[in-house]
Amino acid sequence: MQTQERGTLFVFSGPSGVGKGTLNAKLFEEFGEQMAFSVSATTRAPREGEIDGKHYFFISKQEFESRIANNDFLEYAQFAGNCYGTPKSYVMSLLDQGKNVLLEIEVQGAMQVMERMPDCVSIFVLPPSFEELERRLRGRGTETEEKVLKRLETARGELEYAGRYKYRIVNGGDLEAAYQELRSIYLKETNRA
Ligand code: 5GP
């Protein structure tokens, strides 16, 4: 008999407000037993309802730097003034156990993963248009104008990287249609002969 097959690493990016979290949650709902989400480390403060060890490992800047020095991260990057990193040994051990691992990370980190793990499956979620993204971000109504503008500027920069991903999914408002695209990518990439 064949030994345990190594899992597939999925790298998922897309600007804030594009619905990537919702799409990933749906994927997990359907294929959760074959999958695992990586829990990143970050220096940003927890938001209301976020749990240490579940949503992120919330650590100090000093701790983050010592982890960089120990080569503990598969990738790391700065985003909106905070540091984020993917714990390498955790991801590798999940892949070894045959789990398909999902990283939901920003573009700089995704480029590092694509370089280090060229077999990874990279997916970028796009809004139907920049105007629609702006409408969605404003629709949240939870942020100041300054923050919204900052997020939009970041999103514009991120969208420039979309072409470097293996797959692009447009989330144009029909969540089910976008999910079906993601689902077929997942099935295709995890049932390789
Ligand atoms: P937030 O602070 O809103 O949770 O995340 C901000 C951005 O950082 C999002 O695009 C999120 O996907 C990304 N991010 C979360 N964890 C990591 C990580 O470990 N590495 C990188 N490069 N980006 C991450």
- What does the domain layout of the chain look like in residue ranges? 9-190
Q: Angle at which helices 130-139 and 145-159 pack, to 10 degrees?
A: 150
- H helix or E strand, kind and range, residue 167: strand 167-170
CA-CA-CA-CA torsion sign (176, 181, 186, 188): positive
Domain 9-190 has CATH 3.30.450.20: no
Distance, CA of 45 to CA of 67 (rounded, Å): 18
Compute the distance from residue 6 Cα to the ligand 1 centre, in Å.
Answer: 25
Q: In what order do the strands lie in the sheet with 9-13?
A: 35-37, 100-104, 9-13, 121-126, 167-170
CB proximity list for 88: less than 8 A, separation 6 or greater: 71, 72, 73, 74
Residue 193: the pLDDT is: 46
**How many angstroms separate the Cα of 178 from the Cα of each of 20, 99, 101, 181?**
10, 23, 20, 5
Residue 3: the pLDDT is: 58
Yes or no: say if 125 and 167 are a contact pair by the CB < 8 Å rule.
no
Residue 177: the pLDDT is: 96
Return the residue matching tokens 């999925």. Answer: 10
**Mean pLDDT, rounded, of the chain:** 93
Q: DSSP label at 131?
A: H
Specify the ligand 1 atom closest to the Cα of 16: 10
Residues of the chain with pLDDT under 50: 1, 193
Residue 64: the pLDDT is: 98
Compute the distance from residue 22 Cα to the ligand 1 centre, in Å.
Answer: 15
- H helix or E strand, kind and range, residue 69: helix 61-69
Specify the ligand 1 atom closest to the Cα of 15: 10
pTM for the full model?
0.93
Residue owning the nearest CA to atom 15 of ligand 1: 105
CB proximity list for 158: less than 8 A, separation 6 or greater: 13, 14, 15, 106, 107
Nearest CA to 7 out of 41, 31, 29, 23 is that of 31
Distance, CA of 24 to CA of 117 (rounded, Å): 21
Residue 148: the pLDDT is: 87
> Mutation test of ligand 1: which of 57, 105, 124, 126 has the most ligand atoms closer than 8 Å to its C-beta?
105
